[in-house]
Structure 1
Amino acid sequence: MKNILFVDDEVNVLNGLRRMLRNRKTEWNMVFVDSGNKALELLEETAFDVVVSDMRMPGMSGARLLANIRGKYPRMTRIALSGYSDTEMILESIKATHLFIAKPADATTLSSLIERSLSIQSIIQDPELCDFISGISSLPSVPVIYEKLVRILASKDASIDQVAQLIASDISMSVKLLQIVNSAYFGLAREIVSPAEATAHLGLDVIKSLVLSIKVFEKFEEEIDTRCLNNIWHRSQLVGNIAKKIARKEGFSQKEADQLLIAGMLQDLGELVMLQYFPDSLAENAQWNDINDGDAILQEKQAIGVSHDQISVYLLRLWGIPQQVVECVAYHHSSAHFDSNELSMPHILFCANVLAEDIINGTNLSEGLTEQGLVAEERLASWLLL
């Protein structure tokens, strides 16, 4: 049975949560405490899988509690519960929180967030690795893009269009803003998959706070392998654009095409994690694959115990990125999932990866799509004209 911890200084709120979730008692062991200090004392004795904490509490704020939990128990999924007027508090807790939900929380939304949090915990089996990756709150950005963004935001002439364009061109910034804007805290009637739209929704003042004050973004340091970083960035942009063009060619909706664009951009988020924290393993993996023409995914698992696509899926689900985007990312290197008679969105992203490799490396990998029956020859021929 999974252990869920709820923290709120208002007894009536805790009682309401207890009543609201009483039908989950057979699945979850739920504990309710009325202060951050009591929560930390309890955590020294009992392991919990998820914590749901109010933000505004006397003594120890929810932001401070979640920061403490992130440091000591990083694998715990941290959900912030706050009022719509608490944007300042939400921004303060952004580095320590995985998911956000607004008060008053309804049973369906809260249960869904908790279930989503619990479902990802089997993706990464190694406890230490899971602790480490769960503790990641954001990833560095391409230095040139980051530095330009800081310059623009610091100027008096900053425009939301300029800022949106820059953020939409960077993997790390894009995923962070999508995490924030798609959180249940904002209560949007629809999911936002465009980083530019997310930027416009949050507004210039919030973006300035995130970048200049809270410093939720950072840049890769100078000693990073810039060639590898540029390769990841270029390939992600290329795959996303190819996938979007195929989707529109095949009659998919504009929303679905936009989902494929961002899925292509975010699919190699795990490679950024490896570049930042396991650079030697990533370099060895690339060299090994070049020499042996081997299975890069298998080599990654042998090197650090997990592949970049598993890291990508884990973080995207943990951060609340729309499910359709995550599903596409999950299968971007696997053809076993696809039925050649049905062109699905994950199928399109997989094919876009193959076509991108043809462009980047001058290979003919796309021929395998027809040989394996994954794409009809006439369909592939039409794509090659895009």
Structure 2
Amino acid sequence: MMKKLLLVDDEPLVLTGLQRSLHSMLNEWTMVLAGSGDEALAAMEKGSFDVIVTDMRMPRMDGAVLLKEVRRRSPQTVRIALSGQCDRGTIMSAIDSTHQYLSKPCDVRQLKDTIQHALELRRQLESSSLTKVVSQLKNIPSLPSSYQAMLEEVARNEPRLGRLAALVSADMGMTAKCLQLVNSAFFGLRSQVSNPLQALSLLGLDRLKSLIFSSHIFSEFKTDLFDKQEMAWLWEHSFAVSVGAHNIAEMLHQPPTGIDNAGTAGLLHATGKLVLASCMGKEYKMALEMAAGTGISLAEAEREVIGCGHAQVGASLLGIWGLGRHRRSGRVA
């Protein structure tokens, strides 16, 4: 089935240039062009889109406002923003409604890869309701005690960077969000960051405080499926896997980036469980009860009840956010 893309930019030459650069995908993608946010929303009233790619700086309705409206109307649509370094204020206001930020002028190969990867991840989820849940998420919830500790620390007159780093590096949700931000066009880095401590240093204390209190980039995990002890175990288990993966990578004499990648992958490996427990509690409870009552694995029970396992859900969300993807060079106008 042909996938539908909505390309939005107020500069006609840029818009046609984007369409021309993606010409090789015409046999797989149908592309609709919109010269403003209003035109984009009018196009969405006529039919749904799999992906929207929009400029951030536009008159009347900027990219931030447009993407928030797209998220409300069509949460399953993958939302990609094109932005320059001068757009940081606009970007800050769109953090909760944007899956990925790419630099402008755009690296065509990166844009094409990003769209293809997001579409493939969505296809793997199979369930339309699950696709909507994953695409609509703006953050991964944090352990309640860690979330409260983070709020208390940033509220101090002089927050301790070491304390904040310890909280972020031990929490799946905080790590994922920090990595999503620093690996976007928001920072324009040449190489991908996978170390949560480095990500926090790049964000800085002032920006972190603003993101927490104004943009609410972190949230508290709330569910009736697990008690406090079970929730604490899930985070402790993820941290232990992270440490183990980090140590194994060191023993195998991997380069520093490989060691960081291994540790972060270990920390985030159970992300899908958080997503299912917090967003599809009723269905996930059925899967847990099925696994406990029949002796089949949790992954099998998840596939039976929900349509896919928590590993696929976590991989899809993190992939749509752009994590785990290596950057490529080759910018074109």
Q: With the length of structure 1 as denominator, give the TM-score of the two structures.
A: 0.79
Quote the residue 2:231 is aligned against: 229
Are the counterparts in 1 of residues 88 and 186 from structure 2 also a CA contact under 8 Å?
no
1:281 Cα deviation from its structure 2 partner: 4.2
Aligned residues between the structures: 324
Quote the residue 2:323 is aligned against: 321
Post-superposition Cα deviations, 1:129-155, rounded to whole Å, max 9, x if no partner, equal 211221111122111111111112112
Are the counterparts in 1 of residues 222 and 278 from structure 2 also a CA contact under 8 Å?
no
Quote the residue 2:274 is aligned against: 272
CA–CA separation in structure 1 for the residues paired with 2:282 and 2:23: 49
1:79 Cα deviation from its structure 2 partner: 0.3
Quote the residue 1:106 is aligned against: 107
Are the counterparts in 2 of residues 5 and 52 from structure 1 also a CA contact under 8 Å?
yes
Post-superposition Cα deviations, 1:42-65, rounded to whole Å, max 9, x if no partner, equal 111122211001112122121111
Matches within 5 A, 1:1-386: 1-221=2-222, 225=226, 226-323=228-325
1:319 Cα deviation from its structure 2 partner: 0.7
Provide closer, same or farther for how the CA distance between residues 299 and 23 of structure 1 changes in structure 2, counting only shifts above 3 A.
Answer: closer
Are the counterparts in 2 of residues 102 and 186 from structure 1 also a CA contact under 8 Å?
no
Quote the residue 2:330 is aligned against: none
1:13 Cα deviation from its structure 2 partner: 1.9
1:308 Cα deviation from its structure 2 partner: 0.7
1:39 Cα deviation from its structure 2 partner: 0.7
Unpaired stretches in structure 1, ≥5 consecutive residues: 325-386
CA–CA separation in structure 2 for the residues paired with 1:223 and 1:250: 41
Provide closer, same or farther for how the CA distance between residues 317 and 222 of structure 1 changes in structure 2, counting only shifts above 3 A.
Answer: closer
Q: With the length of structure 2 as denominator, give the TM-score of the two structures.
A: 0.91
CA–CA separation in structure 2 for the residues paired with 1:305 and 1:24: 29
Are the counterparts in 1 of residues 142 and 220 from structure 2 also a CA contact under 8 Å?
yes
Task: State the SS of the aligned residue for 2:193.
Answer: coil
Unpaired stretches in structure 2, ≥5 consecutive residues: 327-333
CA–CA separation in structure 2 for the residues paired with 1:288 and 1:27: 39
Task: Please tell me the root mean square deviation across aligned C-alpha atoms, in Å.
Answer: 1.9
Task: Decide which moves more: 306-315 or 108-117.
Answer: 108-117
User: Could you tell me which amino acid in structure 1 is paired with residue 261 of structure 2?
Assistant: Q
Are the counterparts in 1 of residues 238 and 270 from structure 2 also a CA contact under 8 Å?
yes
Provide closer, same or farther for how the CA distance between residues 235 and 68 of structure 1 changes in structure 2, counting only shifts above 3 A.
Answer: same
User: Could you tell me which amino acid in structure 2 is paired with residue 271 of structure 1?
Assistant: K
User: Could you tell me which amino acid in structure 1 is paired with residue 257 of structure 2?
Assistant: K
User: Could you tell me which amino acid in structure 2 is paired with residue 12 of structure 1?
Assistant: L
Post-superposition Cα deviations, 1:248-294, rounded to whole Å, max 9, x if no partner, equal 22232232122111111101101111221233444454454345432
Post-superposition Cα deviations, 1:11-47, rounded to whole Å, max 9, x if no partner, equal 2321332333333333322221111111111111122
User: Could you tell me which amino acid in structure 1 is paired with residue 50 of structure 2?
Assistant: D
Provide closer, same or farther for how the CA distance between residues 204 and 224 of structure 1 changes in structure 2, counting only shifts above 3 A.
Answer: farther
Are the counterparts in 2 of residues 232 and 271 from structure 1 also a CA contact under 8 Å?
no
Are the counterparts in 1 of residues 76 and 136 from structure 2 also a CA contact under 8 Å?
yes
Are the counterparts in 2 of residues 139 and 172 from structure 1 also a CA contact under 8 Å?
yes
Provide closer, same or farther for how the CA distance between residues 283 and 120 of structure 1 changes in structure 2, counting only shifts above 3 A.
Answer: closer
CA–CA separation in structure 2 for the residues paired with 1:223 and 1:306: 22
Q: Percent identity?
A: 34
Structure 1 runs (4+) greater than 6 angstroms displaced: none
CA–CA separation in structure 2 for the residues paired with 1:38 and 1:222: 40
CA–CA separation in structure 1 for the residues paired with 2:323 and 2:7: 23
Post-superposition Cα deviations, 1:276-323, rounded to whole Å, max 9, x if no partner, equal 123344445445434543221111122222211110111111110014
Task: Decide which moves more: 264-273 or 281-290.
Answer: 281-290
Task: Decide which moves more: 231-240 or 180-189.
Answer: 180-189
User: Could you tell me which amino acid in structure 1 is paired with residue 52 of structure 2?
Assistant: V
1:112 Cα deviation from its structure 2 partner: 1.9
Quote the residue 1:339 is aligned against: none
Quote the residue 1:357 is aligned against: none
CA–CA separation in structure 1 for the residues paired with 2:273 and 2:202: 29
- Structure number with greater Rg is 1
Are the counterparts in 2 of residues 7 and 33 from structure 1 also a CA contact under 8 Å?
yes
User: Could you tell me which amino acid in structure 2 is paired with residue 245 of structure 1?
Assistant: N
Are the counterparts in 1 of residues 85 and 185 from structure 2 also a CA contact under 8 Å?
no
Are the counterparts in 1 of residues 54 and 80 from structure 2 also a CA contact under 8 Å?
yes
1:239 Cα deviation from its structure 2 partner: 1.1
Provide closer, same or farther for how the CA distance between residues 118 and 291 of structure 1 changes in structure 2, counting only shifts above 3 A.
Answer: closer
Are the counterparts in 2 of residues 123 and 310 from structure 1 also a CA contact under 8 Å?
yes
